[in-house]
């Protein structure tokens, strides 16, 4: 049996731009993608902490070290520059691997620079 598990997330990033005229996706600083284990072209979920909007799109790499998090295309109607977002990817794992899987979590500062990267240890409410 396969299970769908959180693969990696970028936690509470600040949206630097919302560009409705771009053809789609979310542009993310390549360093953050690497830290979270997200590949360019990979499906990601964007959860807007500011306004509760939730959307699914794909990641594209923005320049490394830029701190860019740009929501593009139609999604730019749901998310605005300055909003806080969580960006997450998911992986499909066999049951045995899923039971020991530890997704990557990237915590950023107000400039979207990673301040902590860690494997999530447990999925329990605090």
88 within some domain:
yes
Q: Kindly report the pTM of this predicted structure.
A: 0.94
The three-state (H, E, C) secondary structure of the chain, written as one string? CEEEEEEEEEEEEECCEEECCCCCCEEEEHHHHHHHCCCCCCEEEEEECCCCCEEEEEEEEECCCCCCEEEEHHHHHCCCCCCEEEEEEEEEEEHHHHCCCCCEEEEECCCCCEEEEEECCCCCCC
Is residue 33 in a domain? yes
- Tell whether 71 is covered by a domain: yes
59, part of any domain: yes
The CATH number of whichever domain residue 44 belongs to comes to 2.40.40.20
Number of domains the chain is built from: 1
Give catalytic residue positions.
25, 58
pLDDT tens digit sequence for 42-96: 999 999 999 999 999 999 999 999 999 999 999 999 999 999 999 999 999 999 9
Which residues span the domain enclosing 51? 2-119
What whole-number percentage of the chain has pLDDT above 90? Answer: 93
pLDDT at 125 over 80: no
Asked if residue 105 belongs to a domain, the reply is yes
pLDDT at 107: 97
């Amino acid at each position: 049996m396969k299970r769908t598990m959180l693969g990696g997330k970028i936690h509470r990033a600040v949206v630097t731009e919302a560009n409705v005229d771009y053809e789609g996706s979310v542009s993310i600083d390549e360093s953050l993608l690497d830290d979270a284990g997200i590949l360019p072209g990979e499906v990601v979920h964007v959860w807007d902490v500011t306004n509760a909007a939730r959307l699914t799109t794909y990641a594209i790499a923005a320049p490394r070290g830029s701190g860019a998090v740009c929501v593009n295309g139609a999604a730019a109607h749901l998310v605005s520059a300055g909003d806080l977002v969580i960006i997450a990817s998911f992986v499909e794992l066999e049951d045995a691997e899923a039971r020991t899987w530890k997704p990557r979590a990237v915590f950023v500062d107000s400039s979207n620079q990673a301040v902590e990267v860690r494997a999530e240890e447990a999925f329990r409410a605090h």
